[in-house]
Amino acid sequence: MNRGASIRLLYRVLIVIIVMAMAATLVLVSTAVLFPLRYEPSIDHWASEHGQLDPWLVAAVIHAESRFRPNAVSSAGAQGLMQIMPATGTWIAEQIGVDVPIGLEDPDTNIRLGTWYLSYLLDRYGGDLTTALAAYNAGPSAVDRWKASGESPYDETTTYVSRVLDRRQVYALLYGTPFLGSLLRTASTSL
């Protein structure tokens, strides 16, 4: 092979490498946008503090509830990352000895209260994650009524539970894998 052909081949290889690196970067950034992981220290801390919750479950609940927007407010009035109703937040705060009024828009406070509530619901329903998530979405009164009467949950609640469980697996796969998780964390912080 002559020198000119070698240089052309080298350029082609470099172009392929550059295109592959750009595609991988685009995939990483897109994934970090679709499945962000913000407030990870708070998630990890409060998940372990309140019943050794799976942090990927907490991230999935936050993603399903607010897509990690701390100032999110639902049409029903639920607030913050984990979409806690103000009355529920006040009740939780009283249970755990936090002064009221509480700032549900504060990410750490919201995660603290939300993880305690999720742990409480898991205890209340004997560790049944599906039922606890249904109660997180629709309220324990609705779930108790469904269980007592044999009624089916709201379609919205069934979809919510499925969405959280699916996202839990996605978060565990994406961020629980050491190399990929490190890359995604880096991509997330630069967005």
**Residues in CB range of 119: below 8 A, 6 or more apart:** 50, 51, 53
Instruction: Name residue 73's beta-bridge partners.
Output: 79
Contact status, residue 46 vs residue 111, Cβ threshold 8 Å: yes
pLDDT band of residue 27 (cuts 50, 70, 90) is: confident
User: What per-residue confidence (pLDDT) applies to 191?
Assistant: 65
The rounded mean pLDDT for the chain is 92
Q: Is 65 a catalytic residue?
A: yes
pLDDT higher than threshold 90 for residue 189: no
Quick check: bond before 41 cis, omega within 30? no
The one catalytic residue in 40, 49, 65, 151 is 65
pLDDT in the model for residue 22? 82
When the candidates are 1.50.10.20, 1.10.530.10, 3.30.420.40, 3.40.47.10, the CATH number that belongs to 36-189 is 1.10.530.10
Cα separations in angstroms, 140 against 117, 133, 153: 11, 10, 12
Highest-pLDDT range among 8-17, 18-27, 153-162: 153-162
pTM for the whole structure: 0.88
Give me the residue spans of the domains in the chain. 1-34, 36-189
